């Protein structure tokens, strides 16, 4: 499914029911908003492993702007500020109040940003395999140690100016899709 959020349509999928029978009444379950890793991935990386949780909560899997099945937008809008606001607006548009926000890897960075900027939005926060801050001064020596000087140069080019043309300029044989 897609929903208009600001200037883009964001794709999302749902697993599990929000209301379940509880004797003669209906009980509302928690909503877990699942934010995938990346950039460049989609929700399917989380859906298979989190599917069993649909027995306990309603899971909402969101593809970030410019990723998965969501609209691409424009490269200047592919930034943390925009992705954070997209989550807030997404919840607002769908009427999701105080979800448990689960962010994996890059999604964890977005989730942390949401919690910092909009502390009343998440009921709880789950961050998995994520970082609070990317330290290029620590990452580049690791690229060099593991992959040599060329790997460090490619990483420095990408992280300093992350666009496909920068990588193609280093390696003319890269496919056009990169």
Q: Calculate the average pLDDT of the chain.
A: 89
Is the predicted pLDDT of residue 168 greater than 60, yes or no? Answer: no
Residue intervals in the chain for CATH 3.40.50.1820: 2-128
Q: Which of 45, 65, 82 is nearest to 4 (CA)?
A: 65
Give how far Cα 139 sits from Cα of 109, 114, 134, Å: 17, 25, 8
> Residue 63 has what DSSP assignment?
P
The string of pLDDT tens digits covering residues 83-111 is 999 999 999 999 999 999 999 999 999 99
- Please tell me the predicted confidence (pLDDT) of residue 119: 96
Is the predicted pLDDT of residue 162 greater than 80, yes or no? Answer: no
- Please tell me the predicted confidence (pLDDT) of residue 177: 46
Query: For domain 2-128, which architecture applies?
Result: 3-Layer(aba) Sandwich (3.40)
Q: Tokens representing 74? A: 């424009």
Is the predicted pLDDT of residue 43 greater than 70, yes or no? Answer: yes
The string of pLDDT tens digits covering residues 109-152 is 999 999 999 999 999 999 999 886 778 888 899 889 988 998 89
């Amino acid at each position: 499914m897609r929903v208009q959020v600001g200037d883009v349509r964001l794709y999302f999928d749902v697993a599990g029911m929000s209301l379940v029978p509880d004797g003669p009444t209906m009980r509302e379950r928690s909503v877990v908003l699942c934010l995938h890793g990346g950039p460049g991935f989609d929700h399917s990386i989380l859906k298979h492993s989190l599917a069993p949780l649909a027995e306990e909560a309603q899971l909402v899997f969101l593809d970030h702007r410019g990723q998965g099945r969501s609209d691409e937008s424009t490269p200047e809008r592919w930034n943390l500020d925009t992705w954070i606001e997209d989550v807030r607006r997404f919840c607002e548009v769908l009427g999701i109040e105080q979800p448990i926000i689960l962010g994996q890897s890059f999604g964890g960075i977005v989730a942390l940003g949401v919690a910092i900027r909009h502390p009343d939005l998440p009921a709880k926060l789950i961050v998995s395999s994520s970082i609070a801050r990317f330290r290029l001064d620590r990452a580049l020596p690791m690229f060099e140690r593991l992959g040599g000087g060329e790997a460090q140069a490619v990483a420095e080019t990408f992280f300093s100016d992350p666009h496909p043309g920068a990588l193609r300029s280093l390696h003319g044989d890269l496919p056009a899709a990169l």
